[in-house]
Amino acid sequence: MMKSVNQWVFSLLVCTGLLFSSYASAQRIKDLASIQGIRNNQLVGYGLVVGLPGTGEQSPFTEQSFRTMLNNFGISMPSSVKPKIKNVAAVAVSATLPAFAKPGQTIDVTVSSIGSAGSLNGGTLLQTFLKGVDGKVYAVAQGSLVVGGFGVQGDDGSRIIANTPTVGRIANGALVEREVITSLGNGDHLIYNLHQPDFTTAKRLADVINQLVGPKTATAVDATSIQVMAPRDIGQRVSYISTIENLEFTPADAPAKVIVNSRTGTIVIGKEVRLRPAAVTHGGLTVTIAQNQQVSQPNAFAEGETVVTKQSIIDVAQDDTRMFVLDTGASLDELVRAMNEIGAAPGDLMAILEALKEAGALQGELVVI
Q: What pLDDT shows up at residue 56?
A: 83
Average pLDDT in the chain: 78
Mean pLDDT over 341-357 rounds to: 72
Question: Contact at 8 Å (CB) between 154 and 160?
Answer: no
Question: Contact at 8 Å (CB) between 94 and 61?
Answer: no
Query: What is the DSSP pairing of strand 274-275 with strand 285-296?
Result: unpaired
Q: Does the pLDDT of residue 24 top 60, yes or no?
A: no
Q: Is the full-model pTM beyond 0.75?
A: no
Res. 76 pLDDT band, cuts 50 70 90: confident
Question: Is the sign of the CA dihedral 359, 362, 364, 366 positive or negative?
Answer: negative
Q: Does the pLDDT of residue 156 top 90, yes or no?
A: no
Question: Is the sign of the CA dihedral 367, 195, 24, 220 positive or negative?
Answer: negative
Q: Where are the domains of the chain?
A: 2-38+183-249, 42-176, 257-368
Question: Contact at 8 Å (CB) between 283 and 318?
Answer: yes
- List, for residues 266-283, the tens digit of each pLDDT value: 778 777 777 777 776 666
Mean pLDDT over 344-362 rounds to: 75
**Which residue in 65, 93, 67, 98 sits closest to 81, CA to CA?**
67
3-state secondary structure of 69: helix
Q: Does the pLDDT of residue 293 top 70, yes or no?
A: no
How would you class 55 by CB atoms within 10 Å of its CB: exposed for 0-12, middle for 13-18, buried for 19 or more?
Answer: buried
Task: Give 362 or 223, the one with higher predicted confidence.
Answer: 223
Query: What is the DSSP pairing of strand 159-162 with strand 33-35?
Result: unpaired
Q: What pLDDT shows up at residue 70?
A: 83
| Helix residue ranges, H only, the chain | 2-16, 29-32, 60-72, 199-213, 234-245, 332-341, 346-358
Res. 363 pLDDT band, cuts 50 70 90: confident
Query: What is the DSSP pairing of strand 323-326 with strand 266-269?
Result: unpaired
Q: What pLDDT shows up at residue 149?
A: 60
DSSP tag of 19? G
- List, for residues 106-138, the tens digit of each pLDDT value: 999 999 999 888 889 889 999 999 999 999 999
- Cα distances from 76 to residues 66, 69, 73, 251, in angstroms, run 11, 10, 9, 65
